[in-house]
Structure 1
Amino acid sequence: MTPDAAQRHVIDAAVSASGVVIGAPGTGKTTTLVARVIALLEVHALPPEALLVLTPSRQAATHLRDAIGVRIGQATPGPLARSLASFAFQVVRAAAVRAGEEPPALLTGADQDRIIADLLAGDADDEADGAPSRWPAQLSPAVRASTGFRSELRAFLAECTERGVTAAELRASDNETWRSVGDFLTEYRAVQEHMRSAHRDIPDLVSEAAALLRRVDDATLGPLSDLRIVLIDDAQELTPGGVSLVRALRARGIAVLAFGDPDISSGTFRGASPQLFDELVTSLERVFVLEEPTVRSRR
């Protein structure tokens, strides 16, 4: 499909352009992103290591990797499209290796659920033995044993990590449930620290990567020090940690183009929201708008 004027405006933008590309479903956001990648590599002759496409999910990253791979006519030192978690892992790992520390290991969702389930089961056993409960009465052992509660608790812990909320702050809250979660978070972190490897969950990795990008020198980042441009697909799915990572990239002088539609976010349970997308717009300042498909079809 031949790009229309709005798409061409994005594709042909200056190499250093940063901004948010907003488009409804069917306006060709991903198609425009891929065309932008091709233009940067072939028209502007950027080396592949200067460019990276990020997306919140691994599945979307795989799709983009394939879509870009069939269009470019040159070898690349690695995949041009990666998940946000994969990129964060690379940043944290590079810094650990540089510092002579043990490289991190990813704490998977299944690992997290197992730890949370074990800790909650321990609470229930203590209560059965007569110990006072740290949880409010409405959160009975039966409620806490449910998959739904574990999922909500895991999402809440991730939100705390991404927003920098500490266990001490939760324990100081007027909210009884939050105080309980603060106690639980302290124990959860203790379990992580005693694991054989330096385990991090995805929110930990993203938060740590954002902090590293703000303070370390290029030598610490290794191959990532050549990065000049980042394009983000499905930016409406970014969590608070993802938006913080974007800000850290910009603070480092890396151009960021984020493609998304704030009206279709499916990641609200992970903290994504239209308000966060507004923060992204504020951080990247410039806005490109792709036309509605009905407008294009009348041309």
Structure 2
Amino acid sequence: MGQAALFAVPAAEREAPGEGAPRPQADGLTEPAHVQAAPDPSAGAAAARPAFAPNEEQARAITTAARRTAVIAGPGTGKTGTLVARIAHLVEACGADPAAITAVTFTNLAAAQLRERLAARLGAAAARMTIGTFHAICLRLLERRPLLDQEEAAALLGSCLSAAGGERDVRRAAEAVSRVRGGGAGTEAERALAAAYEAALAARGARDLDGLLLDALALPGPPPPCFTHLLVDEFQDVNAVQRRLVRKWSAGSESLFVIGDPDQSIYGFRGASARCFSELAEDAPLDTLPLTQNYRSTPEILGAALAVIKNNPGGARSLRAARADGAPVRLVYTDGPLSEGIWIAKEIARLAGGTQMHTAVATPAARPFSDMAVLCRTRRQLARIEECLRHDGIPCVVSGRDDALSDGAVRGALALFRFLLAPQDAAALAACLTETCAVPAQKAAALQADVQARLAAGEAPPAALAAAGCPPALASDAEQFCALLPHEAPRRLLERYAALPGRVTQAHREAFARVLDMAVFHRRMEDFLRALALGEEADLRRAAGKAYRSGAVQLMTLHASKGLEFPVVFLAGLQQGALPSAQDGGADASEEERRLFFVGMTRAQDELILTAPEPPSPFLDELPAAVARERARVRLPDSRQLRLF
């Protein structure tokens, strides 16, 4: 069965309207499976989107005959519409075979949206295109091997650090190892750690996300025909290895079309660079075209954002607002993070038509909760605001990876389902034995070898586990859930698992409950596991409550918000040491932090509310005088009530 089964398209999905079954292409690459993504945070705006009528700048980009094109698309300038129209132009006007077109997106959610819009424009032809993230496309190009998600990879790297006697932070070590494996500089200790980590991966017959890219880069021979026309979205955030993949895939292609915005380059810690467009121009002649008309934000919002970003190299930007004047941007100072969270909760209730908040600001027509988003620099900041919203009964959905995914009981449960869906996944079986059953490593290795041999001989997983002498509870779980997997949603499966005696102890229940609230966004366990393995921040979501409510406030980090838009945005946590980050990274890091602020501000369509706990961010000094400044009036709870937060 193997990993191919885990990443195949389920039968129910193959039969969904508008989705064709995966089909082999001439190059042997399978047409990409549709990924069941969480509901689109800006789905309301998408549903009301008018037919795309390109302006002059967009039309030039859509119809360019240049072999290599870079489109510099500022926020809200119709980047996705231009990308869709460019692909349609290749098919309708240039006669391109849809199977010869590959579009690379930054998230699985963006890939699903792009495929949906192309299907509406081109019908069944869209199903023949290759559309996905770098990691998803590389996975389809390579032979199947177990894929470690971020939490499993971190655990494996942690064991390598321990074996080396290191006491370094795993996150920092992961950044160093990724840099070294990608061909970057590293100390002798970092190179040794990278080698040990790769050896540990090889011993498990597994890959991590970096390995997907590197192995695809090492594939021999010319790129397959699906890359005849290559389009790359969010190009400003590709890292060095992804840049090399673009170079490899576009070698000999008929067209390369990249689109993005250097002012929205916010992944320097992953090796991305705002200079990527100029570096692309150094490879070969490049036709560079701008998109400068902003259709998303009011002039007040765009003006405030431009006043900030002009302090980065390049000076004043040329973006222009197409919309009529709107409400002024508000900057609200608070005494601290708790005051900020309470004020945001009360203000959201007021905007939604509640009467809890008495303020001099006139109450507008009531807005649905789904119109509103709260963005922060870090997940820790979001956690405080989530507590305040939940305390006031405001439904919310949190985007991004959750620390609960690193919990041992959670990892053990997910490993069981990964093993049942892909029995050749040795890493999943190892996690079942060590995390769930507490089998010592040496004995686990022997059991694993026995089970894998029995599976290779054709035994079913439950029988192979029992015959190899694995703990009876593991064999029993395998038998029970093998029968349930095809029929039940992932949340229900995980609830059944947690109800089994001894599987999830009290110490792990909170983490498990958070993962249940992530699983509610997926219809099948393979969808959920695929999102965990390949998903970016925006692809993973958690409902703040047992059931998902479509009318919910969206909570996400600034990184997760990239590419999204909302009528009302609260940009919170604008505190010294948070944005910009307290970590000293020099001028380049300061510029990236300013770009992150710019990204957050330009998510807003109608209203932008900035909140700043003391001491405020120095970036606020760059805002124009037209921004309305005020001090939050918040009554803090007494000591007994504080325990509720």
2:209 partner amino acid = I
Pairs within 5 Å for 1:59-208: 59-78=109-128, 80-93=130-143, 103-123=144-164, 133=165, 135=166, 141=167, 144=168, 149-162=169-182, 164-165=183-184, 170=186, 178-195=187-204, 197=205, 199-208=206-215
Contact 1:52 1:231 in 2 (8 A): yes
Residue of structure 1 equivalent to 2:267: 267
* Residues in 2 aligned to 1:260 and 1:67: alpha-carbon distance in whole angstroms: 19
Q: Counterparts of 2:218 and 2:193 in 1: how far apart (Å)?
A: 25
Q: Cα deviation per residue 1:106-151 (whole Å; 9 max; x = unaligned)?
A: 232122111012223444xxxxxxxxx5x5xxxxx3xx3xxxx212
Using structure 2 for the length normalisation, give the TM-score.
0.36
* CA contact 2:148–2:208 (8 Å) conserved in 1: yes
Give 3-state SS (helix, strand or coil) of 2:246's partner.
Answer: helix
SS at match of 1:280: helix
**Cα pair 2:72 2:259 within 8 Å, conserved:** yes
CA distance in 2, matches of 1:25, 1:232: 17
CA distance in structure 1 between the partners assigned to 2:174 and 2:221 by the alignment: 30
Q: Which has the higher helix share?
A: 1
Moved over 6 A (4+): none
1:230–1:257 CA contact under 8 A, matched in 2: yes
* Cα distance change on mapping 1:90 and 1:11 into 2, 3 Å: same
- Preserved CA contact (<8 Å) 1:238 1:272: yes
1:216 to 211, 215, 221: 221
Q: Secondary structure at the match of 1:259?
A: strand
Contact 1:56 1:85 in 2 (8 A): no
In structure 2, distance between residues paired with 1:155 and 1:287: 32
> Are 2:338 and 1:297 aligned?
no
Q: Deviations over 1:206-250 (max 9, x none)?
A: 2332332xx414xxx6xx434310111111110001111111123
Query: SS at the partner of 1:39?
Result: helix
In the alignment, structure 1 residue 3 sits paired with structure 2 residue 54:
yes
User: TM-score under structure 1 normalisation?
Assistant: 0.74
Residue 230 (structure 2) aligns with: 230
Amino acid at match of 2:282: T
Distance (Å, rounded) in 2 between the aligned partners of 1:19 and 1:156: 33
One-letter amino acid matched to 2:196: E
> Could you tell me how far apart the structure 1 residues matched to 2:63 and 2:226 are?
22
Moved more, 52-61 or 19-28: 52-61
Are the equivalent residues in 2 in contact too, given 1:4–1:296 (CA < 8 A)?
no
Paired with 1:239 and 1:113, the residues of 2 have a C-alpha distance of 20
Residues 135, 213 of structure 2: 8 Å contact kept = yes
**Gapped regions of structure 2 (runs ≥ 5):** 1-51, 295-318, 324-645
Runs of at least 5 residues in structure 1 that lack an aligned partner in the other structure: 94-102, 124-132, 136-140, 171-177
Residue 228 of structure 1 aligns with an amino acid whose one-letter code is T
Instruction: Write the distance in 1 (CA, Å) between the matches of 2:201 and 2:254.
Output: 33
Corresponding residue of 1:100: none
Distance 1:33 1:75 in 2: 16
Higher mean Cα deviation, 234-243 or 74-83? 74-83
Q: Secondary structure at the match of 1:81?
A: strand
Aligned CA RMSD, in angstroms, stands at: 2.4
**Alignment CA distance shift 1:47-1:253 (3 Å):** closer
1:27–1:290 CA contact under 8 A, matched in 2: yes
In structure 1, the residue corresponding to 2:275 is in which secondary structure?
Answer: helix
1:254 Cα deviation after fit: 4.6
Following superposition, the deviation at residue 71 of structure 1 comes to 1.9
The alpha-carbon deviation at position 181 of structure 1 amounts to 1.7
What SS does structure 2 have at the residue aligned with 1:54? strand
Using the TM superposition, give the Cα deviation of residue 87 of structure 1 relative to its aligned residue in structure 2, in angstroms.
1.4
The answer (yes or no) to whether the contact 2:119–2:127 under 8 Å persists in 1 is no
Task: State the secondary structure of the residue aligned to 1:105.
Answer: coil
What letter is aligned with 1:45? Answer: G
Larger deviation, residues 250-259 vs 185-194: 250-259
Give the secondary structure class of the aligned counterpart of 2:70.
strand
Matched, 1:12 2:63: yes
Structure-2 residue corresponding to 1:128? none
Could you tell me how far apart the structure 2 residues matched to 1:11 and 1:19 are? 10
Q: Tell me, in whole angstroms, the C-alpha distance in 2 between the residues paired with 1:181 and 1:80.
A: 36
Deviation at 1:13, TM superposition (A): 1.6
> What is the percent sequence identity of the aligned residues?
26
Q: Which structure would you say has the larger RCO, counting Cα contacts within 8 Å and 6 or more residues apart?
A: 1
Aligned length: 247
Q: Is the 8 A contact 1:249 1:255 kept in 2?
A: no
Residue of structure 1 equivalent to 2:26 = none
- Sort the Cα spacing of 1:190 and 1:86 in 2 relative to 1 into closer, same or farther, 3 A: same
Q: Note if contact 2:102-2:231 (Cα within 8 Å) is conserved in structure 1.
A: yes
Tell me how far apart the structure 1 counterparts of residues 254 and 179 of structure 2 sit (CA, whole Å).
26
Q: For residues 92 and 31 of structure 1, do their structure 2 counterparts lie closer, same or farther at Cα, with a shift above 3 Å needed?
A: same
Distance between the aligned counterparts of 1:211 and 1:91, measured in 2?
11
> Letter of the aligned partner of 2:288 in structure 1?
V
1:98 is aligned to: none
Q: Deviations over 1:139-190 (max 9, x none)?
A: xx3xx3xxxx21221122112222x25xxx84xxxxxxx2222222221111
Q: How far apart are the structure 2 equivalents of 1:56 and 1:179?
A: 33
Amino acid corresponding to residue 156 of structure 2 in structure 1: I
